[in-house]
Chain A
Amino acid sequence: MIIDLVVSILVLLGAAFSLLGSIGLARFPDLLTRLHGPSKATTLGVGGLLIASIVFFSARGDGLSLHELLITLFISITTPVSAQFVALAARKARPQSDTTSGTPKP
């Protein structure tokens, strides 16, 4: 019962963070601001889902379930790297758009 409550809360929290990140991706005006939504909120959202899954499968009595930790580790390592690459590509393609505030460093 308690386990169900904890898993439900974690699943809803993770899904809400994923949705917020995707709303940020859809709504922000500029690519460099759009990078923030997915690269932070969506990572946290998938992390929440994976913690919910660890709690759920560990509570079923098959011992501690740690498959998910690998996915969490991988996603939290690779998301900043891919965001960095996308930012570099965007900066090379178009250094400044109409909605960018301030001037980028050369």
Chain B
Amino acid sequence: MLSGALAVAALMLGVALLLNVWRLVIGPDAADRILALDTLTVNGAGLLILFCIEVGSTLYFEAALLIAVLGFVGTVALAKYLLRGDIIE
């Protein structure tokens, strides 16, 4: 039962990632693309957590945390660049 639920959930997250990539490609504005990238990293961390449950190892939580941290830093840096024209003044 658990493996079936994990497969269905992984399918849902895969569709979510595809929708994010679609928005990343077509997004009419730069802010749309930043938002799509941010959502992409959060969904990627979720997919990695599903993989943790699947293989029964806590080894990949650090990887998920790193993906979340770097996604946040990247989003803030890109938005600051749009906002000020510079990242570090």
Interfacial residues, chain A to chain B (CB-CB below 8 A):
4-5, 7-9, 11-12, 14-16, 18-19, 21-23, 25-26, 31, 34-35, 38, 42-43, 45-46, 49-50, 52-53, 56-57, 60, 65, 67-68, 70-71, 74-75, 78-79, 81-82, 85-86, 88-90, 92-94
In whole angstroms, what is the CA distance A8 to B12 when docked? 14
Contacts of A38 in B (CB 8 A): 35, 38-39, 42
Cβ B38 vs Cβ A82 within 8 A: yes
Interface string of B57-83 (1 = CB under 8 A from A): 010010011001100100110011011
Q: Count B-side interface residues using an 8 Å CB cutoff.
A: 48
B residues neighboring A (CB under 8 Å): 1-2, 4-6, 8-10, 12-13, 15-17, 19-20, 22-23, 29-32, 34-36, 38-39, 42-43, 45-46, 49-50, 52-53, 56, 58, 61, 64-65, 68-69, 72, 75-76, 79-80, 82-83
Instruction: List chain B residues, Cβ under 8 A from A70.
Output: 65
How far in angstroms is the closest Cβ of chain A from B36? Answer: 7
What chain B residues lie within 8 Å of A67 (beta carbons)?
A: 58, 61
Whether the Cβ atoms of A18 and B16 lie closer than 8 Å is yes
Chain B residues with Cβ below 8 Å from A26 are 19-20, 22-23
How far, in angstroms, from A60 to B2 measured CA to CA in the complex? 14
- The residue that B72 contacts in the complex, of A15, A23, A78, with Cβ under 8 A, is A78
